[in-house]
Structure 1
Amino acid sequence: MWRAALVRILVCALAVLPATEGAQAQEASKKVLHIDSYHAGNEWNDRIVAALRETLTGKDIELRVFHMDTKRRPSDSDIRASALEAKRIIDEFKPDVITTSDDPAAQHLVQPYMRDSSIPVVFCGLNWDASTYGLPFRNTTGMVEVSPIPQIVRLLRKHARGPKLGFLSEDTQVKRKELAYHERLFGITYDKTYFVRTHAAWKEAFLQAQKEVDMLMILGVGALPDWNLADATRLAEEKSEIPSGTDFEWLTAVSLIGVVKSPQEQGRWVGQATLRILEGVQPSDIPLSYNREGELFFNDRIARKLGIKDFPPLARAVR
């Protein structure tokens, strides 16, 4: 009888062990919270998140994403509310590492709430200069985003009828910051700037630029709520009179030349830095980095409209 009782005890003990081990494994898994400054559907940031997720896949890490949505909700009160909601999620989720993309998260969340916190922070997509927000802090590291603006301008000048340069972009604080850094770092002077908030305004500014400047830099459109790439592409192919350039792959359809950055590079770097931190490396021991990957695009349809016949060596054709 005692043997039967002992068998029952052993069976019960063995039945409990897998559940206990599973619970311990679940407790041992790490948690990462990614704070995206913008909204789901913003292509640049979506590619960052995809690369981050791929880098962390198979590492027993739970990744959550919070979108601050600051392009579509740009008022001070909305951004402040979004930052506070992000802070609430941090307090509730208790991540082992926080990752962020773009300036608003750095400015409105990391700078006021995460400075020298016990939670490590890895940022990316922060344009030109991290010191603008006091970064890096003791608990932070990141990849600063720079753009190949001088290279684009140099390529445009080969096809321009004169020296006047225009700047066409969504009307956001980040793009105005970029404009200032183009002037400060590279000595680039824009003869005309066109900041727009709707697709119709973008089209009007594009047409206006064809008459007012000799070459045009075309940058972000993610804040335009009604942006229509197909319509913009038709306009650019039919009405372009001057060479245009961009540093975004998804705007090469409306530009003659693109020297484009890689959001995947930034997502991978953030993921790799996160893994190092989870292994015990201090953020302060990981130096700040700058994006380096790029690719040259050439839009043959716009080139034909401008009478340009030479396809640049090593360029990728815009489809």
Structure 2
Amino acid sequence: MFRFNYIILLLPILLFSTSNKKCVYINSYHDGFVWSDTIAKEIKYILKDSCDVIQFNMDTKRKKDEASIKSSALQAKKLIDKTNPDVVITSDDNAAKYLIKPYYKDSSIPFVFTGVNWTADKYGFPYSNVTGMIEIIPIRALYEMAVDLSIGRKATFIGDNTITDKKDLSYFIKYSKKYGIDLSYNLVDDINEWKNSYLEAQLNSDFIILGHNSAIKNWNDKKVKDFLLKNSKKLVLATYEWMMPFSMIGLIIKAEEQGQWAANTAKGILNGYAIKNISITTNKTWNNFINLKLVDSAKIKLPRKILIKSKKYDMD
């Protein structure tokens, strides 16, 4: 079986007129959410000469109740059925759970997913018409860094009350046992809960891990930055780039990697590659970032090796 992963980037590409090829991108979230906006940008750029890309936003970060998500998935299905695309690309778990699994198992339409966190087992992937990229965040590297810095082994995870952070948290808990980390956690719904959790973690933990903030009500970037500059004394880490204004160190996975892989995979399918021969893969890389303004405000001294290898993030 031909293993179709990053090698596709090296293959010659046949160009198709945009008038006779159609691609649909189903975004689990909304315009303005940095992660899926970046994926969409890569998809549209890479496929601009291969197909017309039609995007549908399920908006399930802001409309989280089951009925709304199912209604949005049904709207996405209607669009797909009406469009009859040559390939569909999806991003993140809710599109996989509420759209692909109930409606398109083993259908004639090829689906390429991205952003399914950690495992696709609960969706039964792969199907004969489904492949994709599993999203894995660098938890082990984060814990190894914290242990290497000798800052203690008590940690708190603070995130929003969404399927993504629940999945991520389950793996933080799993790996905490391996690394001897005493992990507490709070999944919150609004900014006051988030601030209270942060202040409590400042008192009771050696370091803090931030999950998502996109579903936290009344979040205000400037007010949160001001709050952090006044109240941060412990090391704060994150794995998503949009959380870097509020974190000191980031081991940041790349939405670009997932968008590029999905688009090039879709291009391969348009060129005639059989999707059943395209293996599910995982993201492979991340960037190291450091927010010096927040580090300095907390009077934390970091080793030179971290300062050298990290990209500097401007909190302002």
| SS of residue in 2 equivalent to 1:195 | strand
Pair 1:29-2:20 in alignment: yes
2:204 aligned to which of 200, 209, 212: 212
Note the residue ranges of structure 1 that are not aligned, 5 or more in a row.
1-24
Alignment partner of 2:313 out of 301, 314, 318 = 318
Distance 1:186 1:268, change over 3 A: farther
Compare CA radii of gyration and give the structure with the larger one: 1
Q: 1:116 to 1:190 in 2, by over 3 A?
A: farther
Q: State the alpha-carbon separation in 2 of the partners of residues 105 and 202 from structure 1.
A: 27
- The answer to whether the 8 A contact 1:248-1:260 is kept is yes
Range 250-259 or range 42-51, more displaced:
250-259
Q: 1:95 aligns with which of 58, 81, 85?
A: 85
Q: Which runs of 5+ in 2 are unaligned?
A: 1-15
Matches within 5 A, 1:1-319: 29-59=20-50, 61-159=51-149, 161-184=151-174, 187=177, 191-304=183-296, 305-311=298-304, 312-319=307-314
Higher relative contact order (CA 8 A, sep 6+): 2
RMSD: 1.8
Q: Which amino acid aligns with 2:312?
A: A
Equivalent residue number for residue 8 of structure 2 = none
TM-score by length of 1: 0.87
Q: Give SS of 2:153's match.
A: coil
Bigger shift: residues 253-262 or 183-192: 183-192
CA contact (8 A) 1:152 1:257 kept: no
Question: Does the 8 Å contact 2:233/2:300 carry over to 1?
Answer: no
Deviation at 1:52? 0.7
CA distance in 2, matches of 1:78, 1:56: 30
| SS of the residue 1:231 aligns to | helix
Percent of pairs identical after alignment?
Answer: 31
Structure 2: distance between partners of 1:224 and 1:39:
15
Change (3 A) 1:269 1:138: same
Tell me the CA shift for residue 278 of structure 1: 0.7
Structure that is richer in helix per residue: 1
What CA distance in whole angstroms lies between the structure 2 residues aligned with 1:289 and 1:270?
Answer: 11
| Cα deviation, residue 186, structure 1 | 6.4
Matched residues in 2 for 1:110 and 1:27: separation? 25
Structure-2-length-normalised TM-score: 0.88
**Maintained 8 Å contact 1:246/1:260:** yes
Secondary structure, counterpart of 1:137 in structure 2: coil
**Cα deviation per residue 1:287-309 (whole Å; 9 max; x = unaligned)?**
11111121111121222223315
The alpha carbon displacement at 1:184 in A equals 3.5
Q: What is the aligned length?
A: 294
For residue 234 of structure 1, report the CA deviation from its aligned partner: 1.9
Instruction: State whether residues 169 and 196 of structure 1, in contact with CA within 8 Å, keep that contact through their aligned partners in structure 2.
Output: yes
* Structure 1 CA distance for aligned equivalents of residues 261 and 226 of structure 2: 36
